[in-house]
Every structure is written in C-alpha cells, then in structure tokens.
Amino acid sequence: MAIVGIDLGTTNSLIGIWKDGSPALIPNAHGDVLTPSVVGIDDKGEILVGKVAKERLISHPKETVANFKRWMGTSRITHLGDNKLLPEDLSALVLRSLVRDAERFLDEEIIEAVISVPAYFSDTQRKATKVAGQLAGLKVERIINEPTAAALAYSLDHQEESSTLIFDLGGGTFDVTLLEQYDGVIEVHSTAGDNYLGGEDFKDILINHLIQTNNLDQKNKDPQLSKATEEIKVSLTKKHETDYFFSVGGQEVKGTITRDEFESLVQPLILRIRTPLERAIRDSGIAIEDIDNVILAGGSTRMPIIRHEVGRLLRKLPLAHLNPDEIVALGASVQAGLKERNEDLKDVVLTDVCPFTLGISSLRIEGGYDDIPVMAPIIERNATIPISRNQGFSTIHRRQTELDINIYQGESLKLENNIKLGDMSVKVPRGLAKNKSIDVRFTYDINGILEVIVTSEKSGKSSKKIINTSGTSLTEAEIEQKFKELEHLKMPPWEQEKNRILIARSERLYEELTGESREFLVAAIGEFRTSINDQTLRPENEQRIRDKFNELIDNLDRPIF
C-alpha cells in the first residue's frame, strides 16, 4: 500500500519511493532508473514502453511515439496500430509500466502516486496528468511542481537557512523557482517558466542546421537523423568539437561541428531563458545577491552554454553535484513520504505557490473598458496556496437577470491572450444597474484544483463549480470506460523484456550496417531467436545466451564518436 513519487518527463520518466528515511529510485526491468517516455506497438498488437520502444523509434517510426508530454492538455490523437490514443492515454501507458516495475521491485501493491509536472503547466495540463494517473489505475491526489520537487530533494541534505533558485530545463519544459528554507519550512516564493522550451528545441535547431549544411532533403521528424543529432548534442557537452558520420535514407552524412557554432545557433533559445528568470526573481522579492544557491535540474542543464549563462546572469556558480536527471524524481518521492505523513518527515512543511493569475472577465465601466471585457484578477500569481479569495461584481444593465462568468488564467489584461478555463452563468434578482450583486470566490487548493463559488448577494443562493476545462476533461464514467479500453492493450510479460530489447536493438543496428557485418548480424539474430524460443531452455542458459548476444551487438554498435 505504498505511495510512490513519479517524474513523468518529456524524454525520460522515473519512479521512486520514500523508504527508511530517504528517497530511493526504483530500477526497471533493464536495471535502469530512467525509463524513456516512448510508447510503441509491435506486430502482435502488444504495447511496448521504454527502452524497447525507443530502439524501435528508428526501425518502426510509424508504430512508436515520443515527446507526447508536449501535447498534454490538448486533444491531439495519435494512431498507434488500430488504437486512437490521447496524450493522457500514452502517459497512462508509461505510468503503468513504471508502476509494474515498482510493484515487482517492492513486492507490494501500489495504489497512490505523487506525479510531478512542470511548474508552468496550466490547469488543463495538470488535469490531463491526473487523468493519466487514473487511467493507469492510480489514485493521484497530489501533483507537485518539478522545481519544487527538486528543491525538496536538495533541502533534505542541506538543512541550513538559505534561499535557493532552481533552474529546471528538461526535455520539453523550462521552469524557474525561487524558494527559501528555514526551521524545517520550505517556502516557495515564486515560479515562472516556459512550457515550450527544452532540450528538444535545441535538438531541432541542430537538425535544421545539419539539413541545411548537408543539403539533405529530409523532414525534421526523421528518427535516424534525430538520433544522430541527439548524439552530436550530447558529445558537444563534453567536447569542444565533434565529427559526425551517419547515414540517413541511404545518404551518407559527414562533417564537423564545433561547440561555438552550436552555441551561436541556439542563441535565440538562450535569450528565452532570461524572461522567466527575471520574472521569478522580481516576483519573489529576493535580491539577486541574497540568493545563496543555484541548483540545476533537468538533463538539458548539462549543456555548458546553459551553465555558463546561468552563472553569468546570476553571478553564482550553479551547483551540479546532484544528478540533474534524478533530482526531480527524488523530490517527488520525498513528497510521497510527506503525503503518507512519514515519521521521518514530520518536521518538514512545504508551502507552494500558484504560478499564474486567475480571474474572470469583466467590463470596467469606471475604468474606460466599457465596451470590451477585460481580465479581473482574483488570485494573483505567486500567491501561497491553499488560498481562497473573493471579490464582488455587479450587473451592467437594469433589470438584468443573468450573469455569465468566464474563468481565465493568465497575466494579460486582454482576454484573448489568456487561457479560458471554464464558464458558468448565474441568475440574479432583477434590480438597478451597477449594484453589487454577486460575490465570486476562488479557492485554489493544495493540489492545484480551482473551485469557483458564486453567491448572489440578495437571494443568498450560491452555485459552485469545480473547474473542469473543456477539451480533454472527462467525467468519472468516461474515465472508467477509457480505463477498461486501455486494459485491452496488453503489455508483454515482464521476463521477455530483456530479450525484446536486444532484438529491437539489433533490428535498429541492422539498418545502420551494410555488407558483411549486416549479413553476420542477421544470422546472429536468427540464432538468438530460435534459441530463446526453445521451450526446454533453462533460465541460467538463457541468461548466458543473452549475455553472449549482447556482447556481439556491443561490438557491432560501437559509438562513432
């Protein structure tokens, strides 16, 4: 009956648990803590998740999806075999595989999870994440912000009074959070971010550059090119210059790229990290020179240019002794421990903020905006949650009997720049214009769920609405039904995972090799397949065969850099 913490990332997902006074990450079937957030389907209609699917991205691009976290909160449909899947469904499949690994590892049933999301995820995207959890058969009460989780993981080891800036640049999202800790209290002051900035964008720029310099007539999405580019990007974080050599669609690509070149290419993205950074610092009211630590989270912060830029802007060497890939998952596990009120954590209190302004549309008769409705903020951004705020509004016309209330999220005065979360309409008794007639109360709870209560002044009647945003939101019954649908999607038995990944990897390798070594590989694959399908095979022998085959592939698949 454990509660787990899950970091559902754009590129990789992790699962962890609070155990014996410290957070621990749980390895998957392949012994890695990182499970790639990739979902695929094989010829038998079985769902593949993680490393296996990632290997198949190149050999079976049409039956594999990645980076779907970026679509969360939209109703984009992915066709996977005969199945039509929403981003929630795909995330649910990843969650299901993570939970299955954890259940095996812990030998315990898992019913509840804390899932981390980028701090700047909107209400809709948070809801979608929760639905994904439900679809995976989990109870998800708590959604935690990724930078907050990172801070939580960090602050457990460092109890001293300090203020900390978390710089979280992941695969797809970017967040900045400023917080302060003292006497067991972890107080988040402000959060800002960009939902569409991450390692993938850096990669896209590099891909475009490669296409241009080598005159490739390839689409951006080509998985082989994408994989090669990823390798170039990674090697550029270690080396100042790298040679590349790979083949795309029968065309051989060869060249050299220096780190300086790469850095000048990504300059527009670097500029984009400044705005959230500044906004977070401004909102927090903490002076830059009072920030004691800068912590990096997210794999993309490995890039030297990011480290350099953060250091330059904040005049502080960022701390990087924690593994940026794992820190968020560790924090989510700590939050899971907090959630179950673990004894070790009883002195720790975490207060978080609502990262965006919430309000309704209104006409400001006195303020000159009497023809177009504008945003009337009710909960200002970076207010400490849980919070409940109310404000009075009035009718515009005499004898008006109904009021439409549109609920928005965002910082702009103009409504079209903000995100609409929902609407409701209330009846009011007939009366004169411009008399205060309703009271709107916004309650934003600790789980990031907004509840709107509208009370009519005269009649005292109130109507309540828990914001269920249109688009992707589903009713309980629909979720139930979807859950059953997803049940049909079978995952392969756990034991076969290791063999599958070897085969998938070798199939991918087949495409990259030519001539003699290609033939050799085919023969080896065939032999491996027949031997592991042998019913009389004993487990220890199976392990031996697997190791042998693995060694063979490793020899063939030597990195070119």
Partner 1 sequence: MWTLLGIEPINDKKTIKRAYARKLKNHHPEDDPVGFQQLNEAYQDALKASEYQYVQYDYEASFVEAEKNSFDVETVNTSSVFAPLDDEVSCVETKENYTTALSRTKDIPPYADEPDDVVISVEPFLNQLNEFKDEMSLNDWQKLIQDATQLPIFERRQFEMALLVFFYTPVKGYKKTILAAELSPEFFSVIDEHFHWRDNELTLMQGWAGSHEHNSVFLKCLHQYVKPSPEELLEQLEGLLSSPYKIASHKNWCEFFHVACMLNKRQLKGISKKAFQILLTHYHSCEAHLTPAILNAFDRLFGWTWSWAGHRTACLKRPYRQKLVDDTMALADMLIEARLQSATYAQNIDYKKSALRFYSTLFISALGWSVLLAAILFAGPFVQVVAVLYLIRLSIQKIWQVAFSR
Residues tagged active-site: 7, 69, 146, 168
| Of the candidate residues 388, 391, 400, 517, the single one contacting partner 1 (CB under 8 A) | 388
Q: How far is the CB of 552 from partner 1 (least distance, A)?
A: 45
Choice between 190 and 406, CB closer to partner 1: 190
Choice between 44 and 312, CB closer to partner 1: 312
Q: How far is the CB of 182 from partner 1 (least distance, A)?
A: 5
Q: How far is the CB of 516 from partner 1 (least distance, A)?
A: 49
Choice between 66 and 115, CB closer to partner 1: 115
Q: How far apart are CA 350 and CA 147, in angstroms?
A: 13
Q: How far apart are CA 148 and CA 280, in angstroms?
A: 13
Q: How far apart are CA 442 and CA 445, in angstroms?
A: 10
- Specify the 3-state DSSP secondary structure of 157: helix
Residue with tokens 């992790």: 14
| Of the candidate residues 387, 424, 524, 556, the single one contacting partner 1 (CB under 8 A) | 387
Q: How far apart are CA 162 and CA 178, in angstroms?
A: 11
CA distances from 251 to 62, 217, 225, 245, 499 (A): 21, 10, 11, 11, 31
User: Can residue 264 be called a binding residue for partner 1 (CB under 8 A)?
Assistant: no
| Of the candidate residues 445, 451, 457, 542, the single one contacting partner 1 (CB under 8 A) | 445
Q: How far is the CB of 271 from partner 1 (least distance, A)?
A: 8
Choice between 313 and 545, CB closer to partner 1: 313
Amino acid at 262: F
For residues 53 and 107, is the Cβ–Cβ distance under 8 A? no
Residue with tokens 């009021």: 403
User: Can residue 258 be called a binding residue for partner 1 (CB under 8 A)?
Assistant: no
Choice between 252 and 366, CB closer to partner 1: 366
**Token pair listed for 133:** 């959890």
From 362, 361, 358, 360, select the one nearest 379 (Cα to Cα): 358
Q: How far is the CB of 367 from partner 1 (least distance, A)?
A: 6
User: Can residue 491 be called a binding residue for partner 1 (CB under 8 A)?
Assistant: no
User: Can residue 289 be called a binding residue for partner 1 (CB under 8 A)?
Assistant: yes
User: Which range, of 127-135, 257-265, 310-318, 551-559, touches partner 1 by CB under 8 A?
Assistant: 310-318
**Token pair listed for 367:** 């303020």
CA distances from 54 to 20, 60, 102, 218 (A): 34, 10, 20, 20
| Of the candidate residues 183, 402, 476, 540, the single one contacting partner 1 (CB under 8 A) | 183
Q: How far apart are CA 561 and CA 545, in angstroms?
A: 29
User: Can residue 152 be called a binding residue for partner 1 (CB under 8 A)?
Assistant: no
| Of the candidate residues 396, 413, 432, 433, the single one contacting partner 1 (CB under 8 A) | 413
Contacts of 258 (CB under 8 A, 6+ apart): 240, 241
Q: How far is the CB of 461 from partner 1 (least distance, A)?
A: 23
Q: How far apart are CA 326 and CA 15, in angstroms?
A: 10
From 353, 231, 343, 229, select the one nearest 283 (Cα to Cα): 353
Phi, psi for 424 (deg, rounded to 5): -155, 160
Q: What is the dihedral of CA 198, 204, 207, 211, to 10 degrees?
A: -160
User: Can residue 314 be called a binding residue for partner 1 (CB under 8 A)?
Assistant: yes
Site string for partner 1, 347-366 (x = CB under 8 A): x-xxx-----x--------x
Q: What is the dihedral of CA 104, 109, 112, 113, to 10 degrees?
A: -10
User: Can residue 213 be called a binding residue for partner 1 (CB under 8 A)?
Assistant: no
User: Can residue 279 be called a binding residue for partner 1 (CB under 8 A)?
Assistant: yes
Choice between 241 and 527, CB closer to partner 1: 241
User: Can residue 275 be called a binding residue for partner 1 (CB under 8 A)?
Assistant: yes
User: Can residue 260 be called a binding residue for partner 1 (CB under 8 A)?
Assistant: no
User: Can residue 281 be called a binding residue for partner 1 (CB under 8 A)?
Assistant: yes
Q: Which residues face 416 on adjacent strands?
A: none
How many residues belong to the site for partner 1 (CB under 8 A)?
A: 42
Q: How far is the CB of 386 from partner 1 (least distance, A)?
A: 4
- Strand ordering across the sheet containing 402-409: 369-379, 358-364, 402-409, 419-427
User: Can residue 182 be called a binding residue for partner 1 (CB under 8 A)?
Assistant: yes
Q: Which residues bind partner 1 (CB under 8 A)?
A: 182-185, 271, 274-275, 277-279, 281-283, 288-289, 308, 311-315, 317, 347, 349-351, 357, 366-369, 371, 384-388, 411-413, 445-446
